[in-house]
A and B are shown apart, each in its own frame.
Chain A
Amino acid sequence: MTEPIISVRDLRREFVVRSPAGRLRRTRTVVAAVDGLSFDLEAGSAVGYIGANGAGKSTTIKMLTGILVPTAGTVRTCGLEPIRRRRELARQIGVVFGQRSQLWWDLPLRESFRTLAAIHRLPTASWPARRDELVERLDLGSFMDTPVRQLSLGQRIRGEIAAALLHSPPLLILDEPTIGLDVLSKERLRVFLAEQRALHGTTLLLTTHDMDDVQRLTERIIVVDHGRCVYDGTLTGLVARVGAERVMAVDLAEPVTSLGEISGTRTVAVESDGLRHRLAFAPERTTAGAILEALGRRAQVRDLAIEEPDIEDVVRRLYLSQTRTPRSPSP
């Protein structure tokens, strides 16, 4: 088996937080932002790394890229120890830090890309082809000569992604790439990322709050809470584990104020004066077919849609189940 592209073992990172206590004294508290994390990423995989604010996502990414020293544990990225070989590693990974820019504010993208090509020592003969591919796929053509400071957020993020991919890194790490984007821009970005994976086999590690990103782009998710891994597996597995509900929305031919009790469901909402009902059900307790059959006996169903569980809700449930049954801290 080949070596995983990212390998993390018992990773821990502590920060010292100083807060004033009294006039001159300060209290010193040690907070563990990452606390005993272990996981492997196979080359070519796409993993969503999710968790609430302060769960330790960005701290992990900094350790993966070599800009933060772990307090304990080991990290290997692309077979290298990030802190010691940060510069070497930088040639093999593309990173988009959500809130930071690697473009030059007063220069157009064209100039930024030229400088980045020199930074990565890309062959003069071949890099323009890669740039043109990115320009075309990310639709940057119309603003390649506009200074970055004048770009819209969506345009700038697309520019950032192109900048991170210009040197065709085998590993792409995106820290909240779709934050603040509108629905259309998000969608375009997702299509692009999926395409790059298919085309170049790029490994993708994505931290995000946007659950659509996770659903659309990744095949595996790692959920962290207070610096610990609370789930590592597929989205479906996570949904099953926390017992999240699907929702069936039915449109009726005639308004009905109440459908009464349907076994295995609960009514979430009645909309449009009784024309639309939304019923939540746990997939392991009943089936969509059984519900439909029960509905058919009470009203005439004109149309229906099934909504998959909202992953944010799933994660919230996961967090809640963690607090109810706290795990013993890892040694």
Chain B
Amino acid sequence: MYCCPTVRLFAAFVAMGFRRWSTYRLATAAGAFTNTVFGLIKASITVATVGAAGGTLAGYDAVTGATYAWVVQALVAPVNVFHWSELAQRVRDGDVAVDLARPVDPQFAYLASFLGRGAYQFLPRALPPLLTGALTTGLALPLAPLPYLLGAVSVLLAVALSFACWWIVNLTAFWVVELRGLITLYVVAMSVLSGLIIPVHWFPGWLATVADLTPFPSLLQAPVDVIMGRVEGTEALGVLAVQAGWLLGMLLLGRLVFARGAAKLVVQGG
């Protein structure tokens, strides 16, 4: 371990993020319950929509449509699409000074602990909706191992990308005191364009184009497509590549913005 201190450091932050969240068992249970209830509602609406469209809609039939809804519900917590404002709070009350006074890169450290959080959420928040789905509407999932293997990579990329996006949203705190408006705007845009509410494949052409110009489909639509085997082989690798591209771009942008924000803090004070 000592030969590679950077790996050790990353692992320590992942472990730290995991343990921090694992202390909130009751919150986890409540979250899993909510995910499941919303899963029931969304699966019913999806099934009804597919039925009204004549049995299939953009490649989804009743069971695959319901499965889509359930898998999205399973990923909502680990990918952490709805809320992350830890950094913004630390910027606002000045605790970010403590982060700056440490011999680590803050983005690196926060990314690692965000992944740790996702790792903790993965089983307790994903299993209840999936089990409920299997018992109510039934799930149409592939039987081969490959989609799950690629799916794991896709989910990892999605979690990291979610962090990269939230990181940028949070950094606005360097310039603006009140972030609630911006966070609401982000969540609304994310909810529509990521495929959280309905699959991106159901969008009219112009909206699909808008979605493709944002990183949001890479958060949910992409991993669900890979896991469900809707995209396979080279097509699946293409989806992963798009995710990786967004991740890299957003992380780099986040570094630039953080450097500007920190410089402002360091130069102007407070």
CB neighbours of A100 from chain B (8 A)? 94-95, 97-98
Give every chain B residue within 8 A of A87 (Cβ-Cβ).
Answer: 102-104
Q: Which residues of the other chain, B, contact A32 by a CB distance below 8 angstroms?
A: none
> With an 8 A cutoff between CB atoms, is A137 at the interface?
no
The interface-forming segment of A2-10, A60-68, A196-204 is: A60-68
Q: Note all chain A residues with C-beta closer than 8 A to B97.
A: 62, 67, 97, 100
- Decide if A106 touches B20 in the complex (CB within 8 Å): yes
Name the interface residues of B15-33: CB closer than 8 Å to any CB of A.
15-16, 19-20, 23-24
**B206 sits at the interface (CB 8 A):** no
Q: Does A104 contact B (CB under 8 A)?
A: yes
Which A residues have a C-beta under 8 Å from some C-beta of B? Answer: 13, 15-16, 59, 62, 65-69, 83, 86-88, 90-91, 95, 97, 100-102, 104, 106-107, 111, 114-115, 117-121, 123-124, 147
Asked whether B23 lies within 8 Å of A102 as measured between CB atoms, the reply is: no
Interface contact B101-A121, CB-CB below 8 Å: no
Q: Which of chain B's residues have a CB closer than 8 A to the CB of A62?
A: 97, 269
Contact A86 B101 (CB under 8 A): yes
Bound Cα distance A62, B262 (Å): 13
Q: Taking each of B100, B103, B104, B265, which has the highest tally of chain A beta carbons within 10 Å of its own beta carbon?
A: B103
Q: Is B201 an interface residue (CB 8 A)?
A: no
Contacts of B104 in A (CB 8 A): 87, 119
Q: How many residues of B contact A (CB 8 A)?
A: 30
- Chain B residue with Cβ nearest A120: B103
A101–B5 touching, CB < 8 Å: no
A123, B2: Cα distance in complex, Å: 7
- Which of B20, B101, B269 has the most chain A CB within a 10 Å cutoff? B101
What is the bound-complex CA distance between A87 and B262, given in angstroms?
A: 13
Nearest Cβ on chain B to A33's Cβ, whole angstroms: 8
Contact present for B20 and A104 (CB under 8 Å): yes
Indicate if the CB atoms of A111 and B19 lie closer than 8 Å.
Answer: yes
Question: A97-B97, A100-B98, A107-B16 in contact; A119/B267 too (CB < 8 A)?
Answer: no
Q: How far is the CA of A260 from the CA of B5 in the complex (A)?
A: 75
In the complex, how many angstroms separate the beta carbon of B216 from the nearest chain A beta carbon?
Answer: 29
A98 to chain B, nearest CB (A): 12
In the docked arrangement, what's the CA distance between A13 and B268, Å? 10
B12 interface residue per 8 A CB criterion = yes
Q: Which residues on B sit within 8 Å (CB–CB) of A65?
A: 101
Check if B185 is an interface residue, CB within 8 A of chain A. Answer: no
Query: In B86-135, which residues have CB < 8 Å from any A CB?
Result: 94-95, 97-98, 100-104, 109
Q: Are B12 and A121 in contact (CB under 8 A)?
A: no
Q: Which residue of B lies closest to A62 (CB)?
A: B97
In the complex, chain A residues whose CB is within 8 Å of the CB of B102: 87, 90, 102, 119
For the complex, give the distance between the alpha carbons of A121 and B3 in Å.
11
Most chain A beta-carbon neighbours within 10 Å: one of B1, B2, B11, B269:
B269
Question: Are A118 and B13 in contact, with the CB atoms below 8 A?
Answer: yes
User: Which residue on chain A has the smallest CB distance to residue B9?
Assistant: A118
Closest chain A CB from B96 CB (angstroms): 9
Distance in angstroms between the alpha carbons of A104 and B20 in the assembled complex: 8
